[in-house]
């Protein structure tokens, strides 16, 4: 996948069947679905693939145990089926993980046990493993650093885990492989109309400044929390459709909570579910659900949210973590569909909304990463019907995602799937590329070169945050690695020293927002 080639396609062709705005899970899912059915498809992303909410998830491919407790059986059943499909179609970036829910009152074993048994039952043939009750001893074998005070036992269940932004890149590659034109760092800033109906968009290449006029039979707005500003442009109305809520995650070293299973805390002080999950050799603790007024591209954690997660982690474990143990804190905004005047966003449904608006714009929002494929299928069905295009059925249920291997290898390069052999070859053939980008981490310059040449990585942020994930794992290490990575980026793209220094400065500024120690608003 090469950005210049995609731009060349856009220069030679400006009329498409389906145009998608937004390169998060929703938009990318629509692009693969539409292109694999044979529609002429283009997707434009303002920043980088999954720069918005889609790189900031809790990394669960799940049905949502919490939604079952809310009685939303249909939503859970659909998500569990999608979970199974995702694990099958992208096994290099998604895998099964065991979760343990500890219980501190004897009757909770049966209460939560029944709920989690139902959860497994609903997944039918796509079950990832048997839910079962654990004794106190067995619970501690799974979670050796769990606090023993009043512990009665636990419940073991299975769910999926993934690398969200790596999956996003691979979905973009899948779409390109099926003929879609996909461009990142290209924003839509206006619509073209005939009367009140939309016929196209005006877009800007944010790297060169070049402007494009692109026409399409139907336009899909998949801009997540940012959807309202495009809706206002298209429809000339001021109604808000999104009720944003932020969720933060703390990333700490793995030794604070040993074992290979994840911990699920079913009821926090404010009645939420939180997790402690092993991920890329670190632990993620999350998440929160805080209604916010501002929709920012780099949302900031609130101090109370950090304290809340630290407090709960320390309460349930024998470890005692504090601010200085946090390697990175990342924040995502939920694009929850607005339902009346609800103020408690944790009770708003996570189901999606698909609407065809009077201008002809197809507006899709809400949902979960896990259900991106089914959401995309429904969105494309509705779009095709609305545009009067010939109907071809979706093919994505069994469509393998780019780099999907027959069997997953061991080692950290396994996340690249079948692309890992090309990266290994770069490491073997070029001494310089075998160098690590940071002494504490296994990542090499070969991967960086791969991202630049094959995954449309344009900026330091694209590489550090969404290709290597170092910003999410260890913000300080990412800042330390930035100058070396920027040199390679500038060399590969023929950029000046001034450009390189500007990239480093911009990235350092951004990365400080992921460091607890430098968050200026505390």
Ligand X SMILES: Cc1cc2nc3c(=O)[nH]c(=O)nc-3n(C[C@H](O)[C@H](O)[C@H](O)COP(=O)(O)OP(=O)(O)OC[C@H]3O[C@@H](n4cnc5c(N)ncnc54)[C@H](O)[C@@H]3O)c2cc1C
Peptide bond before 287: cis, by omega within 30 degrees of 0? yes
Cβ 336 to ligand X shortest distance, Å: 9
Nearer to ligand X, 54 or 139 (CB): 54
Question: ∠ CA(520), CA(465), CA(172), 5° rounding?
Answer: 140
Nearest to 364 by CA among 216, 225, 169, 168: 225
Contact assessment for residue 261 and residue 142, using Cβ atoms and an 8 Å cutoff = yes
| Pairwise CA distance, residues 40 & 56, whole Å | 30
Cβ 118 to ligand X shortest distance, Å: 19
Nearer to ligand X, 46 or 373 (CB): 46
Nearer to ligand X, 176 or 182 (CB): 182
Peptide bond before 27: cis, by omega within 30 degrees of 0? no
Contact assessment for residue 160 and residue 96, using Cβ atoms and an 8 Å cutoff = yes
| Pairwise CA distance, residues 365 & 52, whole Å | 13
Nearer to ligand X, 26 or 503 (CB): 26
Q: What's the gap between Cα 271 and its chain centre?
A: 25
Cβ 221 to ligand X shortest distance, Å: 9
DSSP letter at 390 equals: P
Cβ 461 to ligand X shortest distance, Å: 12
Cβ 195 to ligand X shortest distance, Å: 23
Residue nearest to ligand X (CB): 24
Cβ 350 to ligand X shortest distance, Å: 7
Nearest to 154 by CA among 277, 285, 287, 263: 263
Nearer to ligand X, 230 or 264 (CB): 230
Q: For residue 363, how many C-alpha atoms fall within 13 Å in the half-sphere facing its CB?
A: 25
Cβ 288 to ligand X shortest distance, Å: 8
Nearer to ligand X, 243 or 420 (CB): 243
Contact assessment for residue 270 and residue 327, using Cβ atoms and an 8 Å cutoff = no
Q: What's the gap between Cα 218 and its chain centre?
A: 26
Nearer to ligand X, 378 or 500 (CB): 378
> Which positions lie near ligand X, rule CB under 6 A?
21-27, 44-47, 50-54, 56-60, 62, 187-188, 222-226, 230, 247, 287, 332-335, 367-370
């Amino acid at each position: 996948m090469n950005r210049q080639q995609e731009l060349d396609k856009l220069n030679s062709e400006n009329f498409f069947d389906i145009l998608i705005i937004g390169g998060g899970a929703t938009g990318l899912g629509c692009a693969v679905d539409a292109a694999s059915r044979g529609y002429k498809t283009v997707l434009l992303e303002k920043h980088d693939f999954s720069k918005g909410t889609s790189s900031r998830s809790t990394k669960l491919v799940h049905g949502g145990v919490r939604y079952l407790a809310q009685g939303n059986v249909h939503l859970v059943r659909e998500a569990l089926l999608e979970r199974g499909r995702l694990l099958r179609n992208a096994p290099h970036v998604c895998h099964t993980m065991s979760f343990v829910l500890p219980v501190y009152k004897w009757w909770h074993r049966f209460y939560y046990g029944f709920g989690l048994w139902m959860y497994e039952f609903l997944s039918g043939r796509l079950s990832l493993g048997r839910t079962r009750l654990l004794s106190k001893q067995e619970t501690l074998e799974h979670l050796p650093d769990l606090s023993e005070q009043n512990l009665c036992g636990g419940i073991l269940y299975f769910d999926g885990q993934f690398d969200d932004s790596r999956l996003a890149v691979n979905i973009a590659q899948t779409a390109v492989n099926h003929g879609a034109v996909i461009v990142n760092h290209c924003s839509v800033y206006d619509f073209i109309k005939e009367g009140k109906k939309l016929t196209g968009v005006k877009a800007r290449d944010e790297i060169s400044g070049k402007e494009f006029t692109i026409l399409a039979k139907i336009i899909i707005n998949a801009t997540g929390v940012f959807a309202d500003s495009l809706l206002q442009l298209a429809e000339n109305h001021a109604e808000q459709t999104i009720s944003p809520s932020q969720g933060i995650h703390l990333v700490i070293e793995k030794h604070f909570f040993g074992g290979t299973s994840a911990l699920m805390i079913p009821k926090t002080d404010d009645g939420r579910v939180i997790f402690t999950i092993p991920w890329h050799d670190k632990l993620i603790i999350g998440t929160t659900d805080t209604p916010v007024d501002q929709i920012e591209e780099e949302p900031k954690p609130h101090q109370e949210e950090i304290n809340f997660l630290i407090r709960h982690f320390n309460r349930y474990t024998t470890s005692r973590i504090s601010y200085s143990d946090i390697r990175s804190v990342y924040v995502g905004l939920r694009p929850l569909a607005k339902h009346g005047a609800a103020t408690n966003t944790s009770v708003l449904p996570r189901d999606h909304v698909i609407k065809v608006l009077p201008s002809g714009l197809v507006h899709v929002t809400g949902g979960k990463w896990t259900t991106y494929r089914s959401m995309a299928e429904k969105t494309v069905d509705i779009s095709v019907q609305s545009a009067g295009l010939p109907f071809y059925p979706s093919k994505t249920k069994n469509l393998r995602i780019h780099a999907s291997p027959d069997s997953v290898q061991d080692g950290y390069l396994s996340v690249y799937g079948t692309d890992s052999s090309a990266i290994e070859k770069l490491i073997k053939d070029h001494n310089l590329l075998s160098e690590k980008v940071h002494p504490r981490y296994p990542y090499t310059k070969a991967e960086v070169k791969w991202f630049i040449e094959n995954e449309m990585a344009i900026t330091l942020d694209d590489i550090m945050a969404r290709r290597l994930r170092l910003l999410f794992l260890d913000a300080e290490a990412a800042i330390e690695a930035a100058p070396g990575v920027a040199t390679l980026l500038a060399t590969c793209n023929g950029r000046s020293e001034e450009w390189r220094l500007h990239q480093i400065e911009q990235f350092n500024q951004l990365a400080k927002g992921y460091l607890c120690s430098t968050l200026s608003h505390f």
